[in-house]
């Protein structure tokens, strides 16, 4: 796919990688457009968002008249001085019948075929969002059954940029056993549940990159507004300062590995070590704002129903920062999308044994930090504390992660009702030598593990002890002979805790501690 960067003199004129071949000429250092082009999301197989204005944009001869025809609508506009143009289609109902969208200008016509109208979601984050269907549990059966032509997926190409970009790559794929292996697993299972329940086409715009930090997915302006910006800057400067020495060491290690690999090949044996990994410096995914610039900004303006997000692992060493940055990112994306309280639903990190964490609680603190996102309206958390893999940061049960995200969307975005949350801690009340813990979303409260493990209590000395737990209606009584004056309670407050408390809907209780720090919201 050919990408064309254009001037950004007007924020609405943000054409991306075109869907057709381009003819471009450089004149006095400026890129001039001499062909009609469309943004990359406007390719064959695209799903357009129903029931809201849909931006259609691209580039044409500067000053040229552009006409967009779709579903009985004709919208016209003149291209700007830089060739950029944008129109907005009027809101349309869902339509599963493939249609054609035609754009004409200067005697040229670009036709986009197999266009559907339905529900569109942006799916972003790091490796657990990027993980594809072949790596999930029961993958062979899932792939064989993936015959859903009304579910479409586009993967935005990886791109780190020092400034807000106007180009991006990606092509729509129709869901089938032959194509689903390229889909984000979490996004696919989320979209599959929406399609099953809503009966309309579903488009999944997948923009993620494994091993990335939240700082890379935020705009420079949003980062500068954070009190943690100086620390973020300092870490980036340190990475840049260390890069030359690391690059030199990498080159030596690579030469040694290549020599040893060649010798091993002659002896018909495998190399003794893996190939060294190149360091990442200036212009890499570690640059603050780089992925927002390269993989989110080029999509604007964009009509989507909402966002699903699966990220946080790379920031787990700094939960205090994450609790500040995450709600800022949500607010910044909403402002840039000009969509008001855009639904934003995220996955809380699953259980995991972290061998390099002597406290055993760093993951618990990061899960709590993720809940700071709930300070923003229109947000929700899919809890996965019970479906992780203790020894793998990439749990294979993405079916349930996607389904739980869909439950939130169906209940809160689409008004379909039904329970979408596990039991959520409300308050702990002392009664003599016991604590009584109250929950919302607690209908049918029950234990799935004998003895209801995972609860702990502490007294005035803040020393935690395992608690004896007993369910009483929609509450839980906690006690311990070691804590005669209980004041505080917590549950699943470890990296890889037992998850035992569920409600009637079979959804797990999120980890909590009754002394919740300021600014951290309940799920």
What are residue 308's phi and psi, to 5 degrees? -115, 145
383 and 507 Cβ atoms separated by less than 8 Å = yes
Structure tokens at 505: 């809907």
Enter the tokens of residue 457.
Answer: 């209590």
CA max distance for the chain: 85
Strand ranges (DSSP E) for 295-433?
A: 306-310, 344-347, 379-382, 424-431
Calculate the dihedral angle through the C-alpha atoms of 251, 255, 261, 265, rounding to the nearest 10 degrees.
140
Cα dist. 271→253, 256, 279, 511 in Å? 14, 11, 21, 44
The distance from CA 260 to its chain's CA centroid, rounded to whole angstroms, is: 40
The answer to whether residue 461 is domain-embedded is: yes
HSE, CB side, 13 Å, CA atoms: give it for residue 488.
15
Rounded CA-CA distance 387/401 in Å is: 8
What does the pLDDT read at residue 359? Answer: 92
256 phi/psi in degrees, rounded to 5: -65, -45
Q: What local confidence, expressed as pLDDT, does residue 16 receive?
A: 34
Residue 88 backbone phi and psi in degrees, to 5: -125, 120
Beta bridge partners of 115: 99
Q: Flag whether 508 is in a domain.
A: yes
What's the confidence (pLDDT) of residue 521? 53
Q: How far out from the chain centre does Cα 500 lie?
A: 27
Instruction: Give per-residue pLDDT as tens, 401-416.
Output: 999 999 999 999 999 9
β strands within 432-522, DSSP E: 434-440, 446-447, 455-458, 464-466, 468-472, 475-479, 488-491, 501-502, 512-513
Predicted TM-score (pTM) of this structure: 0.91
Please give the structure tokens belonging to residue 39.
């943004």
Q: Are 117 and 202 in contact (CB under 8 A)?
A: no
Give the residue from 332, 311, 331 showing the smallest Cα distance to 322: 311
What does each of the 523 residues of the chain score in pLDDT, given as a tens digit?
323 233 332 232 233 333 333 332 322 222 344 589 998 799 999 999 999 999 999 999 999 999 999 999 999 999 999 999 999 999 999 999 999 999 999 999 999 999 999 999 999 999 999 999 999 999 999 999 999 999 999 999 999 999 999 889 999 999 999 999 999 999 999 999 999 999 999 999 999 999 999 999 999 999 999 999 999 999 999 999 999 999 999 999 999 999 999 998 898 988 878 899 999 999 999 999 999 999 999 999 999 999 999 999 999 999 999 999 999 999 999 999 887 789 999 999 999 998 889 999 999 999 999 999 999 999 999 999 999 999 999 999 999 999 999 999 999 999 999 999 999 999 999 999 999 999 999 999 999 999 999 999 999 999 999 999 999 999 999 999 999 999 999 999 999 999 999 999 999 999 999 986 545 554 4
Q: Assign 3-class secondary structure to 91-150.
A: CCCCEEEEEEEEEEECCEEEEEEEEEEEEEEEEEECHHHHCEHHHCCCHHHHHHCCCEEE
Supply 253's token pair: 């290690």
Q: How many domains does the chain have?
A: 1
Place of tokens 């990296």: 495
Q: Which of 408, 400, 309, 316 is nearest to 359 (CA)?
A: 316
Q: 130 vs 209, 292, 499, CA distance in Å?
A: 6, 16, 26
Task: Classify residue 501: in a domain, yes or no.
Answer: yes
At residue 32, the pLDDT reads 41
| Residue 331 CB coordination number (10 Å) | 17
Q: What is the DSSP string of 235-295?
A: HHHHHHHHHHHHHHHHHHHHHHHHHHHHHHHHTT---SSPPPPPP--TTSTTSTTHHIIII
Is 156 domain-assigned?
no
Q: Which residue range is the domain that position 499 belongs to?
A: 424-513
- Residue 502, judged by CB atoms within 10 A of its CB (0-12, 13-18, 19+), counts as buried
Per-residue pLDDT reduced to its tens digit, 132-181: 999 999 999 999 999 999 999 999 999 999 999 988 999 999 999 999 99
| Whether the Cβ atoms of residue 313 and residue 127 lie closer than 8 Å to each other | yes
Tell me the C-alpha distance between 53 and 95, whole Å: 15
Task: Kindly state whether residue 470 falls inside one of the protein's structural domains.
Answer: yes
37 closest CA partner among 6, 76, 74, 9: 6
307 domain-assigned: no
Element (H, E) at 56: strand 54-59
Query: Could you tell me if residue 492 is inside a domain?
Result: yes
Q: Is residue 509 part of a domain?
A: yes
């Amino acid at each position: 796919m050919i990408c064309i960067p254009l001037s950004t003199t007007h924020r609405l004129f943000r054409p991306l990688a075109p869907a057709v071949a381009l003819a471009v000429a450089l004149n006095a250092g400026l890129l001039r457009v001499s062909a009609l082009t469309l943004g990359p999301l406007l390719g064959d197989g695209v799903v357009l968002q129903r029931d809201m204005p849909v931006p259609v944009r691209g580039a044409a001869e500067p000053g040229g008249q552009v006409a967009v025809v779709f579903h009985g609508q004709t919208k016209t506009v003149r291209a700007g001085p830089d060739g950029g143009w944008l129109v907005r289609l009027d809101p349309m109902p869902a339509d599963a019948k493939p249609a054609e969208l035609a754009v004409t200008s200067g005697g040229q016509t670009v036709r986009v075929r197999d266009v559907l109208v339905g529900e569109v979601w942006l799916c972003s984050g790091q490796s657990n969002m990027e993980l594809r269907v072949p790596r999930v549990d029961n993958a062979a059966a899932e792939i064989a059954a993936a015959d859903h032509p009304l579910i479409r997926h586009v993967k935005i190409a990886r791109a780190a940029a020092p400034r807000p970009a106007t180009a991006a790559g990606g092509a729509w794929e129709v869901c089938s056993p032959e194509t689903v292996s390229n889909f984000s697993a979490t996004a696919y299972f989320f979209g599959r549940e929406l399609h099953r329940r809503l009966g309309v086409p579903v488009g999944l715009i997948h923009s993620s990159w494994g091993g990335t930090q939240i700082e890379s997915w935020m705009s420079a302006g949003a980062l500068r507004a954070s009190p943690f910006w100086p620390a973020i800057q300092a870490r980036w400067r340190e990475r840049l300062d260390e890069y030359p020495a690391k690059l030199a060491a990498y080159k030596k290690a690579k030469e040694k590995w290549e020599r040893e690999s060649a010798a091993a090949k002659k002896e018909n044996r495998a190399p003794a070590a893996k190939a060294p990994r190149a360091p990442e410096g200036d212009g890499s995914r570690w640059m603050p704002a780089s992925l927002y610039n390269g993989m989110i900004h080029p999509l604007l303006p964009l009509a989507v129903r909402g966002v699903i997000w699966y990220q946080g692992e790379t920031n787990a060493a700094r939960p205090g920062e994450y609790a500040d940055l995450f709600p800022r990112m949500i607010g910044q994306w909403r402002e840039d999308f000009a969509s008001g309280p855009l639904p934003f639903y995220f996955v809380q990190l699953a259980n995991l044994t972290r061998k390099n964490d002597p406290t055993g609680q760093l993951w618990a603190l990061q899960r709590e930090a993720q809940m700071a996102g709930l300070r923003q309206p229109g947000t929700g958390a899919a809890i996965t504390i019970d479906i992780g893999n203790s020894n793998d940061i990439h749990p294979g049960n993405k079916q349930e992660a996607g389904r739980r995200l869909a439950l939130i969307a169906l209940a809160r975005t689409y008004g379909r009702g039904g329970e979408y949350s596990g039991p959520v801690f409300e308050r702990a009340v002392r009664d003599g030598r016991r604590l009584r813990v109250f929950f919302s979303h607690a209908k049918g409260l029950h234990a799935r593990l004998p003895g209801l493990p995972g609860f702990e209590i502490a007294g005035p000395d803040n020393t935690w002890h395992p608690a004896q737990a007993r369910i009483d209606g929609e509450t839980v009584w906690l006690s311990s002979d070691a804590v005669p004056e209980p004041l505080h309670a917590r549950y699943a407050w470890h990296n890889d805790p037992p998850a035992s408390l569920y409600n009637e809907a079979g959804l797990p209780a999120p980890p909590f501690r009754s002394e919740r720090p300021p600014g951290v919201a309940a799920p």
